[in-house]
Amino acid sequence: MKIGICSDHAGLDYKTRLIAYLLGKGHQVVNFGTDSSESCDYPDFAHRLGNAVASGDVDAGIALCGTGNGMAITLNHHHGIRAGLAWNTEIARLVKEHNNANVLVMPARFVSYRMAVMMVRTWIETEFAGGRHQRRIDKIEL
């Protein structure tokens, strides 16, 4: 799978470590920044990832910021993006199974790195359930 990933300064450490994890699992990874620990604006990186997922340049995306909310809000403004904010493996499973989230968003300041890895693994391995969930997804876009 070709996975795009981005973060702001709050998610930089986890992003860097997740890139190594994903590469080790055989995925291709495209880094959309940031690559600095200096304070920055999360929309700059979320828009790059959102455009790449929406255009099909990458198969899916992962985004991290302090609370995850800024990334999720920004990403969900992109047509065709379903960014799901998760803070445990059950939520990571459900955002894929029920919402077919094509971007997983995590709050780097509120989850351990171990939990972040478990959420990524769960989200990648989970299949979309379809059925009634597809009917609901079809009603999202205006």
Positions annotated as catalytic residues are 65, 98
Q: Which residues define the annotated binding site for D-ribulose 5-phosphate? A: 8-9, 66-70, 99, 109, 132, 136
- Tell if the pTM clears 0.85, that is, is over it: yes
Give pLDDT, residue 79. 95
Output phi, psi for 19, to 5 deg.
-60, -45
**Amino acid identity at 139:** K
* Residues in the chain where the model's pLDDT stays below 50: none
Please name the residues in contact with 123: beta carbons below 8 A apart, sequence gap of 6 or more.
86, 92, 93, 95, 96, 101, 104
Point out which residues pair with 4 in neighbouring strands: 30, 61
**pLDDT tens digits for range 83-114:** 999 999 999 999 999 999 999 999 999 999 99
Share of the chain above pLDDT 90, in %: 98
Give pLDDT, residue 39. 96
